[in-house]
Amino acid sequence: SSAVRSGGRFRCPSCRHEVVLDRHGVYGLQRNLLVENIIDIYKQESARPLHAKAEQHLMCEEHEDERINIYCLRCEAPTCSLCKVFGAHKDCEVAPLPAVYQRQKSELSDGIAMLVAGNDRIQAIITQMEEICRTIEENGRRQKQHLGLRFDSLCSILEERKKELLQSIAREQEAKVQRVRGLIRQYGDHLEASSKLVESAIQAMEEPQMALYLQHSKELLKKITDMSKVSMSSRPEPGYENMDHFSINVDCVAEMLRTIEFQTGA
């Protein structure tokens, strides 16, 4: 609106030429038929369906009025008849465009079929390898389970044997301790009796009356003699406390366990 001045004057936005508008306004200006035709053609092209546009023939760039209707076999490019007669393809071998189109379309179709078949084979191989992966994983889990059970069995055997050997040590330990404790009780009883006899002898020594002393001294002397004759030779022999004979050598077994391997060819 800023381009229209008061008094009906209009300045062209392109050339800046000032035009005086009459009472008809812009409709009173001189018509530009070329521009109108271009606009009409554009409107028609815009309104035409897409499939109709796709059916249009390509025109030759060198000969604008010639349709591209042949195919240059040497240059492998579509061209027009004039290019074959007078133009760049006059020395080339050509073929009808529909024939080349059908042939290449057939080749493309065959190529697509070949790719699809190849893809099917590849997919089958992938499926097969995925199944192999699942089988490997399942076999691996099963073998791990079997291996765990075998080692659990070995551990059970070791624990059982350990229990048996510990029981053997415990039995001999208990027997030896019981024997020594029996000797301790025996020596303790002898010591207690001897101490009492000593106490009785000391009391007898303090007896002031000779007749009374002599009345009991004979029996006391006999007890002392008998006590001194008691044999105290029952003692544990040297090394009786030694338990080294319960030692075991597991080096060979440990080495064998360390070298456990899978069976070849199993």
DSSP assignments along 220-264, one per residue:
HHHHHHHHHHS-----PPTTTT--GGG----HHHHHHHHT--PPT
- Based on the domain organization, do 227 and 121 belong to the same domain? yes
Same-domain check for residues 204 and 179: yes
CATH number of domain containing 70: 3.30.160.60
Residue 228 and residue 143 share a domain: yes
- The answer as to whether 260 is a domain residue is no
Residues 218 and 164 reside in one and the same domain? yes
39-48, 82-91, 170-179: segment of lowest average pLDDT: 39-48
pLDDT band at 1 (very low <50, low <70, confident <90, very high): very low
Residue 104 lies in a domain: no
Asked, for residue 227, whether it belongs to a domain, the answer is yes
Average pLDDT score over the chain = 82
Which domain does 21 fall in, by range?
1-56
Residues 143 and 231 in one domain: yes
CA geometry: angle at 212 spanning 210 and 213, to 5°? Answer: 60
Domain shared by 13 and 37, yes or no: yes
Domain count, the chain: 3
Q: Write the pLDDT tens digit of every residue in 219-266.
A: 888 888 888 887 777 888 999 999 999 999 999 999 999 999 998 765
Regarding whether 149 and 190 lie in a shared domain, the answer is yes
Reported as a single tens digit per residue, the pLDDT across 84-93 is 777 877 788 8
Does 83 share its domain with 37? no
Amino acid code (one letter) for 52: A
Based on the fold, state whether residues 185 and 146 are members of the same structural domain. Answer: yes
Residues 80 and 31 in one domain: no
Please give the residue that has the higher pLDDT: either 203 or 164.
164
